[in-house]
Amino acid sequence: MKRNYIHLMAAFLLCSACVGKSEKHDRSKAQTDSTSPTTILVVPDSTLQSVRSFLQKELEVDLAIMEKDDRNFSFYAVDLNADGKAEYLVKPESRYFCGTGGCTFFLLNSDYSLNTKFTVTTPPFYVVPRKTNGWHDLALEGDLDQAGKPRNYIYLSYQTELKSYPGNPSLISKSGTAPGSILNTYWPTGQQVTTHSF
């Protein structure tokens, strides 16, 4: 009887160790995945509210003259510098923020402070594997041919002296070289996005 009890306890401890290893493996995989710029991050309500608060403060002057329908935005969470914390690409969803050359976008740091204000910018944004100063390069389509296909691209590299990406892509020389690979695409052509009010 005593021998059976010892065997039973040994089997129980062995199984407990196996479960612990399995859970530990899953957690480490999640941490690895969370730093990838290709990961779709599920954001909590507090994140949504923080992005909304940023826009209300950043656009405080504009709010007085904006129509209610102009006060919408969409955003994506992406870890561009592999520090395990998401940055946020934000697009005000209104013609109020667009002109003939493109629209205004914001890149927020993980603490919701402004990293880069992009002007005259046309989506989609592509995140490419190449890194500059520890941050993934971003790519935009340049000129389009008659079929709507890009003839060239604009590459935006992180600038350590400014602690931001170039804010006006129209001032960057265009490259005839297409991205060799794309890690993720934000605001892809023809895809509907979820919008929020601010």
pLDDT at 11 over 50: no
For the chain, give every domain's residue range: 45-197
Residue-wise pLDDT for 162-182, tens only, equals 999 999 999 999 999 999 999
Per-residue confidence band for 40, with pLDDT thresholds at 50, 70 and 90: very low
Least confident of 87-91, 137-141, 191-195: 191-195
Phi-psi region of 59 (alpha: psi -120 to 50; beta: other; left: phi over 0): alpha
Find the mean pLDDT for residues 101-129. 96
Per-residue confidence band for 44, with pLDDT thresholds at 50, 70 and 90: confident
Compute the 3-state secondary structure of the chain and give helix, strand, coil in percent, each to the nearest 5: 30, 30, 40
Cα–Cα distance measured from residue 137 to residue 152, given in angstroms and rounded to the nearest whole number: 16
